[in-house]
Amino acid sequence: MGKKILQPPKGTRDYYPELMAKLRWIFDTWRNVSIQHGFVEYDGPIFESLELFRIKSGDEIASQLFHFEDRAGRELAIRPEITPTLARMVAQKANSLPRPIKWFSIPRLSRAERPQRGRLREFFQWNIDIVGSDSVLADAECMFVAIDFLRRIGLTSDIIELQVNSRTIISSLLVDANITPDRHEHIFAIMDKYEKLSDRQFDEYAKQQGLSADELSAVKDILTLKDIDAVSSLTKSQESKEELDKLHQLRDYLHAFGIEDYFVYKPSVVRGLAYYTGIVFEIFDKSTKLRAIAGGGRYDHLIKLFGGPDMPATGFGMGDVVLLELLEELDKIPADITRSGLKFFVIDADKQFFNLALKITSELRKKGISADYSSKRQSLGKQLKSANQAGAKFAIIVGQETADENLITIKNLQTSQQQQIKTDEFIAKADEIE
């Protein structure tokens, strides 16, 4: 019996070339969209002080992380998200950074959670953040960036929706219903379960979590609001009316950006993390039971937690796992992205021309043009097969139908059209051949 083949750790993936090609297409589109919207790229260490994550999320976060001690006994953790790193970096140089700070990153992250559909222990995530602006326009721009990306890859408003709410307005509505602020975070966590449970299950769950009959009634009144306009029926305080105005303003900005058809007001979207302070949003597909494609919102006090000034901030994260699953389910991944991008495959029709094939390959590579060859001495037919398997666009055949080393044959592997050309002329014009 042979040795047992080891498997990747639970909740991780092996990135074979086919998967890597799909991810590279997503990453490149993430990066291009970010830059086109005026964001600049940053990154940080793959592990940070465990204290960094405790500051943001409390001591209980340690059980959700891969953490360890270094040789000096310092507690470290592999990053489960990059927002704390961003907050630390901004806090360090807050006075010298031009505002608003518009940063993006595509980090590799790890979380010690139970793997399930749409959630792995290791994943990539696109992060977009605007720091230093308290304008609703900053929230709208983050949403616009997310939707612009999704729209470009074929996820139109008939497929996905942008679910928006404001934690501030929900808090003010709870106060208007005589529920004190010290209860709000607990109630937010309960409200976050609303879409995941039936109406009866939610009522039972809320009662198990300690909600009184009056509190449950008030919460249900909020959760069943149909749209922004319906919120006005519950607004009593000046604060809730001001927050309602912000939501109207947000919708106007989304209309100006041309993405209002994606917008849905969803009172159950409160985001489970306590550091969110205002407008929050999640993006879901309409037809499946997948997890959120993206989620984020305003976190106005996080920079101050890390020793920086009290700077407003907003942003979102979009993971690759749910996105890739949805794209494959909807057949939205371009068929040609798994091709290697190789332009030329150089073939010797006879072994006497092999060194010339190597020379041509070398000249092409020196010019920055992708080129490869068969390391095995094989027949012309087998080398053509290798060229196709490599995903090359053209085959360059040396010594076909002529012993003249000054002539080569260029074969388009998509159309099968071919032409002969002098070797030196080909090298000179290779970057123009399409």
pLDDT digits (tens, 9 = 90+) for 341-378: 899 999 998 888 999 999 999 999 999 999 999 988 88
| Tokens coding 42 | 């940053």
Q: Do 315 and 167 belong together in one domain?
A: yes
Are the beta carbons of 300 and 135 closer than 8 angstroms?
A: no
Q: What is the predicted pLDDT for the residue at 404? A: 61
For residues 399-427, average pLDDT: 85
Q: What is the predicted pLDDT for the residue at 359? A: 95
Identify whether 344 is part of a domain.
Answer: yes
Q: Do 330 and 377 belong together in one domain?
A: no
Identify whether 171 is part of a domain.
Answer: yes
Provide the pLDDT confidence category of residue 326 given band limits of 50, 70 and 90. Answer: very high
Neighbours of 137 (CB within 10 A): 17
pLDDT digits (tens, 9 = 90+) for 76-126: 999 999 999 999 999 999 989 999 999 999 999 999 988 888 889 999 999
For residues 237-253, average pLDDT: 90
Res. 320: pLDDT tops 90? yes
pLDDT digits (tens, 9 = 90+) for 172-201: 889 888 899 888 988 988 998 898 889 999
Q: Do 263 and 355 belong together in one domain?
A: no
Q: What is the predicted pLDDT for the residue at 272? A: 65
Q: Do 249 and 380 belong together in one domain?
A: no
Q: Do 36 and 175 belong together in one domain?
A: yes
Among 335, 351, 374, where does a domain finish? 335
The CATH code of the domain that includes 375 is 3.40.50.800
Identify whether 388 is part of a domain.
Answer: yes
d(CA 263, CA 282): 10
pLDDT digits (tens, 9 = 90+) for 138-164: 999 999 999 999 999 999 999 999 999
Q: Do 324 and 353 belong together in one domain?
A: no
d(CA 128, CA 313): 11
Q: Do 110 and 209 belong together in one domain?
A: yes
Among 335, 362, 397, where does a domain finish? 335
Identify whether 58 is part of a domain.
Answer: no
Torsion angle, alpha carbons of 315, 75, 46, 314, to 10: 10
Are the beta carbons of 237 and 174 closer than 8 angstroms?
A: no
Closest CA to 102 of 135, 79, 80: 135
H helical segments located in 258-398: 302-305, 320-329, 354-366, 380-389
H helix or E strand, kind and range, residue 318: strand 313-319
Q: How many domains does one find in the chain?
A: 2
Q: What is the predicted pLDDT for the residue at 405? A: 62
pLDDT digits (tens, 9 = 90+) for 269-319: 988 666 788 999 999 999 877 889 999 999 999 999 999 999 999 999 999
Q: What is the predicted pLDDT for the residue at 293? A: 96
Res. 403: pLDDT tops 80? no
Neighbours of 238 (CB within 10 A): 9
Residue-wise over 172-202: b if at least 16 C-beta within 10 A, else e? bbbbbbebeeeebeebbebbeebeeeeeeeb
d(CA 280, CA 163): 9
Identify whether 414 is part of a domain.
Answer: yes
Q: Which domain holds residue 87?
A: 17-44+82-335
Identify whether 418 is part of a domain.
Answer: yes
Q: What is the DSSP string of 221-266?
A: HHHT--SHHHHTTT--SHHHHHHHHHHHHHHHHHHHHT-GGGEEE-
Neighbours of 269 (CB within 10 A): 25
Q: Helix, strand, coil % (nearest 5) of the chain?
A: 45, 20, 35
Res. 338: pLDDT tops 90? no
Q: Do 331 and 344 belong together in one domain?
A: no
Identify whether 54 is part of a domain.
Answer: no
Identify whether 61 is part of a domain.
Answer: no
d(CA 393, CA 379): 20
For residues 13-30, average pLDDT: 95
Res. 402: pLDDT tops 70? no
Residue-wise over 15-28: b if at least 16 C-beta within 10 A, else e? eeeeeebbbebbee
Res. 17: pLDDT tops 60? yes
Q: Do 213 and 272 belong together in one domain?
A: yes
Q: Do 307 and 358 belong together in one domain?
A: no
The CATH code of the domain that includes 35 is 3.30.930.10
Q: Do 183 and 207 belong together in one domain?
A: yes
For residues 36-64, average pLDDT: 91
Q: Do 246 and 351 belong together in one domain?
A: no
Q: What is the predicted pLDDT for the residue at 176? A: 86
372, β-bridge pairs: 345
Are the beta carbons of 191 and 312 closer than 8 angstroms?
A: no
Among 335, 364, 398, where does a domain finish? 335
d(CA 142, CA 316): 7
Give me the chain's average pLDDT, please: 92
